[in-house]
Amino acid sequence: MSTYHELKHPRRISEITTGEITIYGSSDGGTTWYPVKLATDGGLALSGTSKTILSAKIDIATATDNAVIAATADKKIHVVSITFTMSAENDITFKDGATAISGAMPFAGTNEPKGATFNLWPFPLIMTTNTAFNITLSTAAQVSGFVQYYKE
């Protein structure tokens, strides 16, 4: 892993060795992503297994665990972005199935935002194999938005 000093003073591509970094690039406008590797000529090349980014809507309004992305047998959900707004004051918690992966986050109250966008690429929230991505609400109030993810 690069140190702060290395990131503050970036090196040329020719100075980076194989396996030192992993980045992703898309050739179709952002639906399918491929690992990018350092080519022998010093350039960058798409390589490896692609990741197809899927979307799921957030349209929930019950004070319970709400499955936003259903579990898939033998696969892990990798959440890469979350965008939502809410109609009234509410606390939300992101969950890996029944297990909280965030604390209760307050929104839409006095001096609080009415929504948020979380860009988690390239470090997604990864659910346990065969487990849904849930959002839990503290009160019955509408929460709308979308989640982008892939499964592996």
Averaged pLDDT in 10-residue chunks for the chain of 152 residues: 40 53 60 66 67 92 96 95 96 97 96 94 91 97 96 92
Residue 79 shares a structural domain with residue 100: yes
So what's the pLDDT on residue 96?
A: 97
Residue 81 shares a structural domain with residue 64: yes
So what's the pLDDT on residue 8?
A: 41
Give the three-state DSSP class for 79: strand
Give the pairing type, strands 77-86 and 105-107: unpaired
Residue 104 shares a structural domain with residue 60: yes
Q: Can you give the residue range of the structural domain that contains 8?
A: 4-51
Residue 85 shares a structural domain with residue 12: no
Residue 40 shares a structural domain with residue 73: no
Query: What percent of the residues of the chain are helix, what percent strand, and what percent coil, each to the nearest 5?
Result: 5, 45, 50
So what's the pLDDT on residue 5?
A: 37
Residue 42 shares a structural domain with residue 63: no
So what's the pLDDT on residue 46?
A: 64
So what's the pLDDT on residue 17?
A: 55
So what's the pLDDT on residue 9?
A: 44
